[in-house]
Structure 1
Amino acid sequence: MTDHITTERLTLRRPEMADAAAIASLVGDLDVSRWLTRAPHPYGLSDAYEFISAVQNGNGNTFVICVGTQLVGCIGTEGQLGYWLGKNHWGRGYASEACRAMIDRHFAQGHDEVQSGYFVENGRSRHVLEKLGFVRTSQEQARCPATGDCHVLQKMVLTKSAWEAPG
């Protein structure tokens, strides 16, 4: 599988240590980290280095999202589809575009389904996942490390057959 994915407007590539400052700045915004199940707040440079190191030692399904050369977010299918975008990049369709590319990659790797989820208060993420064809499966309580609050996490799934169905 490739280390580089190009869509109409985006480039998805492996994160590099040189990306740490941009990642720390974007995830360091509480408006971003409050929707994530793994990012603490404050999120600093050392957190970004640790994240990049873990990705570089992982199975290769996590990418940074770039518009031109500007890093605007991150996406991966390590266990489930997860993504985030810097606040200044919300509402432009980048999440949906990046998700489509990662879902194609995921199914090309031989998987039959991909799971994802969102905090029920996060209407933007709900909209992205529903637009892509994900269906709700169950709910559970999940703690947000950035705020320490517990939220309802809506779990979702997308099957390969649903993804490939005309429609």
Structure 2
Amino acid sequence: MVSRNIESTSKVPTFHVIREVYDSSNAHERFEAELDKALEAKLDFIVIEPPRLGDETGRWIWVGNCLHKTAVATGVVSLVASLLWRDRPIIAAPACALSIFCTGLYTVSWNYDPCCQYQVENNDTVLEKLPLTDVSSPVILGYSPNSKTKYLHRSVSLLSAALCAWQIWRSYNRFVHSAGSG
């Protein structure tokens, strides 16, 4: 959910409505091009009328959010497991691997997509303030800069990977030294 308060800003929120008008055989491509232009313009709100485009965009954002949250959660689990069970990297390693995988996938697929800076807006207070009188069942995207959250999940993943690698290295050294002296 976007934490945007329209009243707290002095400027009028910018928005664009992608109308569901099928005037040619390639209307869906036109809708996508219109969405791309609106995303690149970083408008405050984008209202998507065509249901197929709205559903696809909403799912794309949902999957990106899921990857981000999974990366952070598994990174934190890996960090906690590394701190609780210092001599057992096997407990933290799977969570760390999943965190690194999700972070990598997010970075490759979502990081440079302007759509990742939007969230599906569900806040009724915000929606009531938008001029949506002649719009039929839209999906509304609200601009929400995400550079801090991207740095958070990258930092958590890298920190958990570093701690996990250190634990594995330490365990390996203990194993080698105990095998050599026995």
TM-score (norm 1): 0.23
Q: Which has the higher contact order (CA 8 A, sep 6+)?
A: 2
- Indicate the structure (1 or 2) with the bigger Cα radius of gyration: 2
Q: Which structure: greater helix fraction?
A: 2
